[in-house]
Amino acid sequence: MKYITDALGLKFIHWEFEKLNTPITNIEPSMKIIHVVKPGTKIKNGLLFRYTVKIYQSGKLTLNCIAEEVFINDGISSFSFNEVKNLIEFAFNRFNFEFERKIKSEGHPGASIIYSVKDDEVFQVLRRISEQ
């Protein structure tokens, strides 16, 4: 399936990083999925994925990250369960790849985020995009 994304793709809209040479003690990732509408209408035509990641080293917040990506598809309200699930997985994998790249460019050895799409999340997205 092909997706039309905004011109800039994934955007890191907030990035605060302090490099410490101590082990990671906690990672708090989250992903929020919000439907978007066509400008000037109420027609749902895409999903905005907002990712937040906080990394703690020795109990101290050393990374605070917020990133967003928008996927536009005029037929999104008729997506099947599997299409929505695949889109969520695709979006998260793109984020994780770019996150790894960015954190390594800052001199951190890396911190891959493990995530699997839950059926309940897919059903919630399906409900939101099918409501009028």
> Over the stretch 69-88, which tens digit does the pLDDT of each residue have?
999 888 888 899 999 999 99
Here the tokens at position 130 are 């099918």
Q: How confident is the model at residue 110 (pLDDT cuts 50, 70, 90)?
A: confident
**Could you tell me the domains of the chain?**
4-130 (3.10.420.10)
Return the minimum-mean-pLDDT range out of 2-6, 51-55, 103-107, 115-119.
Answer: 2-6
Each as own residue / partner, the long-range contacts of residues 76-82 (CB below 8 Å, 24 or more positions apart, any chain) are: 76/35, 76/44, 76/45, 76/46, 76/47, 76/129, 77/44, 77/129, 77/130, 79/126, 79/129, 81/122, 81/123, 81/126
CA distances from 38 to 4, 44, 64, 76 (A): 13, 6, 31, 12
Determine the Cα–Cα distance for residues 132 and 130; give it in Å rounded to an integer.
6
Question: The whole model's pTM is what?
Answer: 0.88
